[in-house]
Amino acid sequence: MYPSYSIPEVALELEYRPYFINTIKSNMASHGIARTIRGRTDQQRLQDLEKIKIYRDLESQVRSRAALGNYDLALFNLTTKLLGLNPEYHTIWNVRRRCLLSGLLPSPLDEPPSLNAPASQAQSSNAPSLNSDGSVFQSELTFTIPLLLKFPKSYCIWSFRKWVLSQAILRLQAPIAREIWESELGLVSKMITRDSRNFHAWGYRRFVVAKLESHELQGKSMAETEFTYTTNAIERNLSNFSAWHNRSQLIPRLLNERGADDKMRAAFFDRELNNVREALDVGPEDQSLWSYHSFLISHLVDHRGRQTIVPALTLPERTAYLRREVDEIKDLLEDYPNIKWIYMGLLECSLGLERLGYEVDRSSSSFHGSETWLLKVRALDPMRAGRWIDMERDMKRVEVRQGTLM
Amino acid sequence: MADLNQLPDELQLATAQHVKYIQSLDTRKDEYDYWLTEHLRLNGLYWGLTALHLLRHPDALPREGTIDFVLSCQHESGGFGAAPGHDAHMLYTVSAVQILALVDAFDELEKRGTGKLKVAQFMARLQDREKGTFAGDEWGEEDTRFLYGALNALSLLDMLHLVDVEKAVNHVVACANFDGGYGVNPGDESHSGQIFTCVAALTIAKRQDLIDKDRLAGWLSERQLPNGGLNGRPEKQEDVCYSWWVLSSLSMIGRAHWIDREKLIGFILRSQDIENGGISDRPGNMVDVWHTLFGLTGLSLLGYAGLDDIDPVYCLPKSTVNRVLGKSM
Amino acid sequence: MESLSAETWDTAICGTGLSQSLLALALSRSKKRILHLDANDFYGEHEAALSLQEADAWAQAHAGGGATHHLDNQLAEGENADEDVTSDKDKLSVAPKLSGKKSTIFRNAHVWKHPNAEAQGLSFPRAYSLALAPQIIHTKSKLLSQLVSSKAYRQVEFLAVGSFFVYSSTDAVSGTRLARIPSSREDVFSAQSIPARSKRTLMKFLKFVIDYDSDEQKPIWQGSADKPLSEFLVDHFKLDDRLRDFIIALTLTLDGKVTVRHGLTTIHRHLTSIGLFGPGFCAVYPKWGGISEIAQVGCRAGAVGGSTYMLDTPASIDEAGNGGDISIKLSDEVSIRTTTLISSQQIRSTTSQSISRLVAVVNSPLQPLFGVLAEGAPLPAVTVVAFPPGSLLNNTQLGSNTPVYAFVHSSETGECPSGQSVVYLTMQTIPLSSASEVLDMALTTLLQAVPATGEILYKLYYEQATSSRQSLVTSQGDATVFEFPSPSLGLAFDDESLDAVKEAWKIVMKDEALDNSFMKFEDREGMDDDDDVYD
């Protein structure tokens, strides 16, 4: 079928979906919605009252049934309706979970998953049709998809989905559970395509991948495919900080799994560095790119107790890298003379060189050290003057306490 | 909408309107949204009440009614729901404790509720003793928001000894990223909101030494955009609420001067609804009590005149925190 | 027919071109008494989409100078022959025709059909829908926002316009002669064939265009605003020939001499339109014949709103009319009266440029031209190929200084059966009737450059000019006659034409015309938004 484009769908995708930290806040309230004149017409008021009545009737039905402790199919169906109206209602998701646990889900497996176990064991006392083939899990997951598309940053919905999936592991044979988990990757890719920075979706992706890699689901490492996934995401949008971040997280494991020796590691490091520098050619103001550049540089200078990508580089090799970076970044100045980030990159590399004990000829007329670059940064970035003043003070101390950047 | 970035310099804080706006919030029972957001009622009360305290109108909501409502949300387990009949959850429980701290009513917990201990035990039971993490409720969702909430409320209740603080600290450290920030879980990207919870948790645990302060503050200071507002992550839009998450984090690690104070004040003031009160996510948008609080806390951290001081760790007035923790003023 | 003449109409709209149809849409909730006519038996007037049968008939009617009057031959001979056209208006017919068949906007039309067309796959005539004046619509266009606010968009299916290619006869580097124009940072980043240094200069230019109108950037270009863009690109941005061709192609200008001011405006529109409706694409094209589809939707809204529609109804002003109204003669028996008359200008202006168009049906889907632009992006249905000046091999030197543009439409546009495509080629008309040769050459070259084989089954050639660019407003007593200008010759929809629609709307609405209510309607009943569902 040909995907034709209708305008409203598109407009929906552009809507800004914010982040809420303190609570599971409804985005029906106020993020990104233009202020309009308050006050409703009488007709709107009546409509609201009608809506309230329907909503509250439904709510009181759910409550009174739940109070009786009768978590049956009727109550389950009521939660479907109510959550359709208000998918942020955390208590109702709990009622739904209780309904599922009271017989709608297949019984937990008594034994750990085994390849030799029979594929299905009809044990559920209550709903034989929804048994060990996983269909009830599928229908629960399907139920949440439209809600998630409407509320892509709702903590409740994401967390309910995780819970359903975890129940699948407890209650289904591993191969069947695995199929269900695998299809989650499709959904999460779709969510990331709609909003490439949805951190719920990225976190969820890591969660799903970790499970798919785990023994519980008879998995193996997916570092290679996930790494490729970040490459593709970055090629679609260089500013995708989330993808760059995930990439940085994957690298150490990737190299270990490849059994990379020192030479392979150095080659890998070169390629990453070249790649991000090429990206900087077209996006010299992009914080995501500079952040990844800085991540790579930190492996030459200061990897903060983490596993470094290139442990075997000698000191001269590391200074050579940094000197080349200084030259390459300086070259950007020819086309982009007034971009703070370029000077910050130079400042960082210079501080790195100083930290590695590299001796520069300060008397040379072509000398540019960290002081030079800091002056430029300060001039270009008055908003953060406090930071640059502090840094200057720190650099002036006899023992150059190494400031860090980005 | 007219270009609200062009409002006059003499823009002032609309204190009286904000007070009125917050007072009006519970009178909107004929609006559908009022009912759709019932799952936020207790949090909403905390946001509104804290805002009123900062605005120096602590009595604008009736104290007795406030206490009655909070206690009506409590379960036998000691935990609190968002409203009567709602399931208990860490987030609501923390809000309940904060509200009771604000109105100096911990003793009411003993008189009319389950008692402090049970409240603390409700939260303590949600800790995973292996990993140090905290769940939000019995269903197991984990997040550093819950960890912070527990440490916040438990320390207010003087019950921190019920949990394994060291393990909690280890978990926070595991959430740290190369850029100095923190994510929702280990491996997740840095986010200003999560940074606040992690830095505040480490501060309560007296383990700020584990923070890479310069790097973190560098990252946080880059959250300020040319219009003065702050965003939550690189390459995202500004939003008033980050005035709190970013600035409180910077304050806790002594680097609040790394951003432009005047520009941020201007941005927050432009986000006010001058006529009807309330603050929105950015100029010209719909206001709500949540952004109203975090606009005000932002201004308070910036030392804006006419507002009481906010405590960057607890998100309560400094006077409240000092009273509860027994510090001298 | 009697009821037609029973009362005076509030307005009579003659012609169903886009402007008149948008006016019908704008008036559709106004409770005005509206009669909407077209002399043709199809909708769309100058912007119609025709079946092959209709195209054949249309070509015959426009074979000479379009209108069958005595000036045709002179017009075809030399540029200066145009000068008397407008002043001869009165000679054309005693009663001026109000729409359709007597237009001099189009001329020199002819049709070619493959001798074995049917054997090669040409389907039945109604399987085709050839647009006379196809235009892509940038996602930023006001036309789209008006279709949204008037709720008419629900009846239009929008397709994505995909890649812009530039043809080069000499580009051996990439092994392909069709190079995709990189228009986003990510495109530039992954373009293998552009050296690092050029990438930076290109990015610098693209960034500059994004806010070229800011106080910071204005000084860079304002001094050379009326100079050729191509020189500016070299002087100020040091773009090489190839990048310059890329940028000029994005302007979609037909004379190759676009000015800095105009060029920056159009490139700005292009770049800022990308991604607005979804990843990767900058413009849309309405399914089933482009602009004509929107015209039909406008008329449909008019009909739903109670207007009376009559196709195949030639009309002329009845000079014998009297009083404050205008009398319009529909046939020998029927005349109607109206207080406002809206029509469109049918006579080419003496100063008008002329463009040559070649529409070709090809029996290949030309698949390689329709790659998806980005993940999550819709499959494009329209692709643009630019042939920069001098890029076409020619031994006659003809057309070497004029660019040619080809819009390739896949069968997803509904304009041809699946497995085929429609190619719309356009260039400025050049003297000595050689434009059709150049367009033929471009078509052949295009088919050779695409790694897919295709035979040409059907071709329609014609030339298009414009009327004067202003709306003409005249008063007759209390009555007003308003004439829209004919469609612009641009390859992308030009928002300026919407101003005339609003102007006409104000004339009809008089003091009921509230600026902020123009084209803003609620959904009609039964068309509610996806509100929460109760059951």
- Chain C: give the shortest CA distance to residue A7, in Å: 7
Q: A199: which chain B residues are within 8 Å (Cβ-Cβ)?
A: 183-184, 188-189, 191, 233
Q: How much is the pLDDT for C435?
A: 87
Q: What is the DSSP letter of A306?
A: S
Say if the Cβ atoms of B276 and A94 lie within 8 Å: no
Instruction: Count interface pairs A-B at CB distance under 8 A.
Output: 199
Task: Copy the structure tokens of residue A262.
Answer: 């020192």
Q: For A284-298, what is each residue's pLDDT tens digit?
A: 999 999 999 999 999
Helix or strand run (H / E) with residue C65: none
Q: If you average pLDDT over residues A35-53, what whole number do you get?
A: 79
Q: A2: which chain C residues are within 8 Å (Cβ-Cβ)?
A: 379, 381, 412
Give percent of chain B above pLDDT 70.
96
Q: The domain that contains A396 carries what CATH number?
A: 1.25.40.120
Q: What is the ipTM of this complex?
A: 0.76
Structural domain boundaries enclosing B247: 11-325
The answer as to whether A200 is a domain residue is no
The answer as to whether B171 is a domain residue is yes
If DSSP codes are grouped into helix, strand and coil, which group holds residue C459? Answer: strand
Q: C157: which chain A residues are within 8 Å (Cβ-Cβ)?
A: 4, 6
Of the two residues A109 and B201, the one the predictor is more confident about is B201
The answer as to whether B5 is a domain residue is no
In this structure, are residues C487 and C18 in contact, taking their beta carbons and an 8 Å threshold?
yes
Q: For A196-248, what is each residue's pLDDT tens digit?
A: 788 888 999 999 999 999 998 989 999 999 999 999 989 888 988 899 999 99
Strand partners, C328: C317, C336
Structural domain boundaries enclosing C413: 107-127+158-171+354-464
A residues 313-332 near C, CB within 8 Å?
332
Say if the Cβ atoms of A5 and C278 lie within 8 Å: yes
Of the two residues A186 and A116, the one the predictor is more confident about is A186
Is the domain of C45 the same as that of C96? yes
Q: A194: which chain C residues are within 8 Å (Cβ-Cβ)?
A: 376
Say if the Cβ atoms of A7 and C378 lie within 8 Å: no
Is the domain of C362 the same as that of C456? yes
User: A90, A211, A347: best mutation site toward chain B, by most B Cβ within 10 Å?
Assistant: A90
Question: By CA distance, what is A281's nearest residue in C?
Answer: C200
Closest CB to A30: pick one of B1, B190, B286.
B286
Q: For B233-285, what is each residue's pLDDT tens digit?
A: 988 899 999 999 999 999 999 999 999 999 999 999 999 999 999 999 999 99
Q: The domain that contains C410 carries what CATH number?
A: 3.30.519.10
- Chain B: give the shortest CA distance to residue A234, in Å: 14
Inform me whether the C-beta atom of residue A37 falls under 8 Å from chain C C-beta atoms. Answer: no
Q: How much is the pLDDT for A337?
A: 87
| A104, A121, A136 - which closes a domain | A104
The answer as to whether C215 is a domain residue is no
Of the two residues C365 and A48, the one the predictor is more confident about is C365
B residues 162-181 near A, CB within 8 Å?
177-180
The answer as to whether A174 is a domain residue is no
Is the domain of C456 the same as that of C483? no
Is the domain of C321 the same as that of C365? no
Q: HEC states along chain B?
A: CCCHHHCCCCCCCCHHHHHHHHHHHHHCCCCHHHHHCHHHHHHHHHHHHHHHHHCCCCCCCCHHHHHHHHHHCECCCCCECCCCCCCCCHHHHHHHHHHHHHCCCHHHHHHHCCCHHHHHHHHHCCECCCCCCEECCCCCCECHHHHHHHHHHHHHCCCHHHCCHHHHHHHHHHCECCCCCECCCCCCCCCHHHHHHHHHHHHHCCCHHHCCHHHHHHHHHCCECCCCCEECCCCCCECCCHHHHHHHHHHHCCCHHHCCHHHHHHHHHHCECCCCCCEECCCCECEEHHHHHHHHHHHHHCCCCCCCCECCCCCCEHHHHHHHHCCCC
Closest CB to C158: pick one of A6, A283, A332.
A6
| A104, A139, A173 - which closes a domain | A104
Question: By CA distance, what is A55's nearest residue in C?
Answer: C534
Cα C153 from Cα C141, distance rounded (Å): 13
- Mean pLDDT is lowest, of A2-11, B12-21, C158-167, C220-229, for A2-11
Q: How much is the pLDDT for C351?
A: 86
The answer as to whether B240 is a domain residue is yes
pLDDT for B58 beyond 60: yes
Say if the Cβ atoms of A13 and C278 lie within 8 Å: yes
Q: How much is the pLDDT for A363?
A: 65
A residues 95-154 near C, CB within 8 Å?
none
Give percent of chain A above pLDDT 70.
79
Distance of CA A95 to the CA centre of its chain: 29
Inform me whether the C-beta atom of residue B235 falls under 8 Å from chain A C-beta atoms. Answer: yes
Say if the Cβ atoms of A281 and C199 lie within 8 Å: yes
Per-residue pLDDT of chain C (535 residues; tens, 9 = 90+): 557 777 889 999 999 999 999 999 999 999 899 999 999 999 999 999 999 999 999 999 999 764 433 333 333 333 343 333 443 333 333 344 565 556 789 999 999 999 999 999 999 999 999 999 999 999 999 999 999 999 998 889 999 999 999 998 765 555 568 989 987 888 899 888 788 889 999 999 998 999 999 999 999 999 999 999 999 999 999 999 889 999 999 999 998 789 999 999 999 999 999 888 877 889 999 999 999 999 999 999 999 999 999 999 988 888 765 667 888 888 878 889 999 999 999 888 888 889 999 999 999 999 999 988 776 778 999 999 999 988 886 555 555 678 999 999 999 999 999 999 999 999 999 876 688 889 999 999 999 998 878 899 999 999 999 999 999 999 887 889 999 999 999 999 999 999 999 999 999 998 888 878 899 998 776 554 443 333 3
Q: A288: which chain B residues are within 8 Å (Cβ-Cβ)?
A: 234-235
- Other C-beta atoms lying within 10 Å of the C-beta of residue C494: 16
Count of domains observed in chain B: 1
The answer as to whether A308 is a domain residue is yes
Q: How much is the pLDDT for A304?
A: 56
Report how far apart, in Å, the C-alpha atoms of B218 and of each of A288, B207, B256, B294 are. 14, 20, 11, 22
The answer as to whether B21 is a domain residue is yes
Inform me whether the C-beta atom of residue B189 falls under 8 Å from chain A C-beta atoms. Answer: yes
Structural domain boundaries enclosing A278: 259-406
- Chain A: give the shortest CA distance to residue C280, in Å: 9
Strand partners, C12: C35, C341
Q: Across A123-132, A393-402, C197-206, which has the greatest mean pLDDT? A: C197-206
A residues 57-96 near C, CB within 8 Å?
81, 84-85
Closest CB to B259: pick one of A21, A48, A384.
A384
Is the domain of C336 the same as that of C406? no
The answer as to whether A333 is a domain residue is yes
Report chain B's mean pLDDT, rounded to a whole number: 94
Say if the Cβ atoms of C204 and A54 lie within 8 Å: no
Is the domain of C418 the same as that of C479? no
Count of domains observed in chain A: 2
Q: For B155-202, what is each residue's pLDDT tens digit?
A: 999 999 999 999 999 999 999 998 999 999 999 999 999 999 999 999
Closest CB to B276: pick one of A38, A55, A86.
A38
Is the domain of C437 the same as that of C372? yes
| A59, A74, A104 - which closes a domain | A104
Is the domain of C448 the same as that of C484? no
Q: How much is the pLDDT for C320?
A: 60
In this structure, are residues C405 and C427 in contact, taking their beta carbons and an 8 Å threshold?
yes
Is the domain of C438 the same as that of C512? no
Is the domain of C295 the same as that of C343? yes
Q: Could you tell me which of C239, C248, C243 has the C-alpha nearest to residue C267?
A: C248
Question: By CA distance, what is C203's nearest residue in A?
Answer: A282
pLDDT for B140 beyond 60: yes
Q: A287: which chain B residues are within 8 Å (Cβ-Cβ)?
A: 222, 234-235
The answer as to whether A191 is a domain residue is no
Inform me whether the C-beta atom of residue B263 falls under 8 Å from chain A C-beta atoms. Answer: yes
Q: How much is the pLDDT for C399?
A: 52
Helix or strand run (H / E) with residue C133: none
Q: The domain that contains C28 carries what CATH number?
A: 3.50.50.60
Q: The domain that contains B54 carries what CATH number?
A: 1.50.10.20
Please name the residues in contact with C38: beta carbons below 8 A apart, sequence gap of 6 or more: C14, C15, C16, C45, C99, C100, C310, C311, C312, C313
Helix or strand run (H / E) with residue C203: helix C196-210
The answer as to whether A117 is a domain residue is no
Q: Across A30-39, A137-146, B292-301, C464-473, which has the greatest mean pLDDT? A: B292-301
Q: If you average pLDDT over residues A52-79, what whole number do you get?
A: 94
Give percent of chain A above pLDDT 90.
57
Of the two residues C374 and B288, the one the predictor is more confident about is B288
Q: Could you tell me which of C503, C464, C449, C457 has the C-alpha nearest to residue C480?
A: C503
The answer as to whether C458 is a domain residue is yes
Closest CB to A91: pick one of B39, B140, B185.
B39
The answer as to whether C180 is a domain residue is no
Is the domain of C408 the same as that of C445? yes
